[in-house]
Amino acid sequence: MAADQSILIPRVKLGNQGFEVSKLGFGCMGLSRSYIDPVLEDVGISIIKHAFGHGVTFFDTSDLYGANNANENLVGKALKQLPREKVQLATKFGIVKFDYNLGVVINGTPEYVRSCCEASLKCLDVEYIDLYYQHRIDTSVPIEDTMGELKKLVEEGKIKYIGLSEASPDTIRRANAVHPITAIQMEWSLWTRDIEEEIPSLPRFSGENFDKNKKLYWNLEKLTEKHECTPAQLALSWILHQGDDVVPIPGFEAVASRESPISHKFGIVKFDYSSGVVINGTPEYVRSCCEASLKRLDVEYIDLYYQHQIDTSVPIEDTMGELKKLVEEGKIKYIGLSEASPDTIRRANAVHPITAIQMEWSLWTRDIEEEIVPLCRELGIGIVPYSPLGRGFFVGRAVVESIPANSFLASIPRFSGENFDKNKKLY
């Protein structure tokens, strides 16, 4: 897949050993875990190919991301569909186990370094790794010992460059004395500027901190209105302008916010926590979204195409009429609706059969049982519940009793304050 020449992402040197990468990288972690649910493998591959097609050539993964090296396996399969010589691949080792309650288990012994490298080469199905990071520093092992083994791997051609993640200034100096360090990976954004002054980070998504950080976001939004861009674009622009030696690796969340919708749904133009959802169900928008999704997914047709939210300002018959045309043209196979009322479902189904209705349905969100479920069964429409585990609430007592400070759940009203205390009784 050739890079899109209409979008010019600059290329820069990372470090001073000649390692050239795209100025904007892609963090692949979110495809297999993190702030959102893992994506299907074919979708993840399409996303990586999409990023490459828009000039991104620097991809970041780790043996920690996803169960059983899922992220490395996914990235490896995507690489098979891209020119390997034009891709800069970074992966990591060092974290044996991560647990929100027990903490991180780290290993930096020479034996572990080598075994991890061999395993990653196999999972990625490549002959070499461009940039190999120590994910976390093992303070029980002299950094000189860890670096010594990494240096051997460079000499053997199994890795090209060495990086460190979350390392102290003293560790960086000592490591660099053994072999040149090409890159240091640290969290750095508009609200994580610790690395500029060596200040410890704060739990940003909980309690008083979260309330204060929301004010930062509101101020950011005012700037986005002035510059006519999204908050994600402004935040990325800020970090991109910190110097040519700074290469950010935003993940799937950034792709989704930059180019919505990213998958097989349409209708939501903009989502904002303060002003709500901007929806468009006009025939023109339906068609333009479908064409854009086909291009991004790099497929000839979409199996099931949902209207993400109903535009009440547009008769559902008009929206469905355009969707029906797309079925007749072979661009979509089946039509679905999300968060639709019983009346809307009946009217839509009269224009063209509806295949699926997507609604939230769990032990604490049972509204659809009153009318939606009986109607779907009457009309022969499939039901696709999302958040069947109550957005994670019913996963287990560990979730109910203690939500990690950096969890997405902390931003959901039913997981906070008085609501959370009452909902725990339900569990």
Active site residues per annotation: 65
DSSP 290: H
Three-class secondary structure of residue 90 per DSSP:
strand
Closest CA to 337 of 357, 317, 321, 322: 357
How are beta strands 276-279 and 268-272 bridged, if at all? Answer: antiparallel
Query: Cis (ω within 30 of 0) for the bond into 261?
Result: yes
Beta partners for residue 89, in sequence order: 59
What lies within 8 Å, CB to CB, of 119 at 6+ separation is: 63, 69
Q: Which helix H or strand E contains 122, and what residues bound it?
A: helix 110-124
SS3 393: helix
In our burial notation (b when 16+ CB lie closer than 10 A, e otherwise), range 264-278 reads bbbbbeeeeeeeeee
DSSP H stretches of helix in 194-341: 194-197, 207-227, 231-240, 252-258, 283-297, 316-328
Looking at the DSSP assignment, which residues form a beta bridge with residue 192?
189
Burial of 295 (0-12, 13-18, 19+ CB in 10 A): exposed
Q: How many helices (H) and strands (E) in the chain?
A: 15, 17
Q: What 3-state DSSP class applies to 375?
A: helix
The 3-state DSSP class for residue 161 equals strand
Nearest 5°: the CA angle 26, 29, 33 is 150
b or e along 362-384 (b: 16 or more beta carbons within 10 Å of the residue's beta carbon)? eeebeebeeebbebbeeeebeeb
d(CA 237, CA 250): 12
Q: Would you say how long the chain is, in residues?
A: 427
